[in-house]
């Protein structure tokens, strides 16, 4: 084997979004994760909505903006006059 081509394998911490910290060994200095065995629904048996990116909020804002734009467009549209021949 060639010498000095392998990465440094050292102790590091894995930090979860729930606050749980796991000590392990890795080539990366620090690892951040969103879900671990302490907070994952499969291990805890509790239902939990994992929405770290804010996808639900972004969707609600987008729907509200579209609805608002449609309301403005409908209000700005002139009324259609109908002529009747007598």
Identify the pLDDT of residue 17: 87
Structural domain includes residue 86: no
Structural domains in the chain (count)? 1
Mean residue pLDDT across the chain: 82
Structural domain includes residue 1: no
Identify the pLDDT of residue 24: 93
- 65 lies in which domain range? 10-74
Rounded to whole angstroms, how far apart are CA atoms 54 and 64? 16
Q: How many angstroms separate the most distant Cα atoms in the chain?
A: 101
Reading the block at residue 25, the tokens are 């060994």
CA distance from start to end of the chain: 101
Per-residue pLDDT band at 25 (split at 50, 70, 90)? very high
37-71 pLDDT, tens digit per residue, is 888 777 777 766 666 667 778 888 999 999 998 88
State pTM to two decimals.
0.45
Structural domain includes residue 62: yes
Structural domain includes residue 80: no
Q: Is the pLDDT of residue 11 over 90?
A: yes
Per-residue pLDDT band at 80 (split at 50, 70, 90)? low
Structural domain includes residue 15: yes
Rounded to whole angstroms, how far apart are CA atoms 50 and 36? 12
Structural domain includes residue 40: yes
Structural domain includes residue 42: yes
């Amino acid at each position: 084997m060639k010498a000095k081509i392998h990465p440094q394998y050292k102790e590091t911490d894995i930090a979860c979004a729930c606050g749980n910290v796991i000590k392990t060994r890795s080539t990366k200095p620090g690892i951040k994760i969103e879900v671990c065995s302490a907070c994952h629904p499969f291990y805890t048996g509790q239902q939990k909505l994992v929405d770290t990116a804010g996808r639900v909020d972004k969707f609600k804002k987008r729907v509200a903006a579209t609805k608002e734009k449609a309301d403005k467009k409908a209000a700005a549209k002139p009324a259609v006059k109908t002529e009747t021949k007598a």
